[in-house]
Structure 1
């Protein structure tokens, strides 16, 4: 992890600043934390502190919601990104044959997505995020 990434992952920002940066309410931000989409650090007084990476994720969540994707879909997208990074890391470290074609990698990702979908509760396809007014 480079110095820039370390700085971006440092938990420094209180929720009030994150609200201003993302134009999200405290309730929305806490909800995305409860959904394990972000994982802010906690102070000794149990206050959440957010990193710049957390802000990026919140902005991405906001964009995806505006595109009509529900929380279940967002979780799948984030899971697929994690799987893709894991596959790339293993290819780079030599744990996976680096001769895998892009098509083979996509096939692995598709299989992973189907596996995730299999464990999805019925009814999760409906809009899952709460209404914030």
Structure 2
């Protein structure tokens, strides 16, 4: 079984999800009403949440805490989905050594050597 398939397995009851996310059952049902999450249902109609559902709920909570409204949350998810579709359809490109060198030079000069890299390598690019 693939990792993504395992993330989608419905494992958690709504009570467990409440403890994991800090959300109330009412909030979780509200987000389901707004089509932000889609938990599986048991034969008895109880909600069963996956790891992916829990992650999505935590992301919703984070965005709301940052001041987004429900429309903003929906836009954020639509943007994420659009980016994922674009990434899947874009062919992988090999990057030349010259392009990597230029990128590295820009990063080091723009950030004065601080950022993705340890130490100050920008001295190698300033005197060119």
Query: Is 1:63 matched up with 2:62?
Result: yes
Unpaired segments ≥5 residues, structure 1: 99-133
Q: Distance in 2 between matches of 1:40 and 1:10?
A: 10
Task: Show CA shifts across 1:106-133 (max 9, x none).
Answer: xxxxxxxxxxxxxxxxxxxxxxxxxxxx
Q: Distance in 2 between matches of 1:63 and 1:43?
A: 28
Alignment length (residue pairs)? 94
Task: Show CA shifts across 1:9-28 (max 9, x none).
Answer: 10111000000000100000
Unpaired segments ≥5 residues, structure 2: 94-128
TM-score normalized by the length of structure 1: 0.66
Question: Which residue does 1:15 correspond to in 2?
Answer: 14
Asked which structure has the greater RCO (Cα within 8 Å, sep 6+), the reply is 1
Alignment of 1:107-122 (within 5 A): none
Q: Greater CA radius of gyration, 1 or 2?
A: 2
Question: Which residue does 2:44 correspond to in 1?
Answer: 45
**Aligned-residue CA RMSD in angstroms?**
1.7
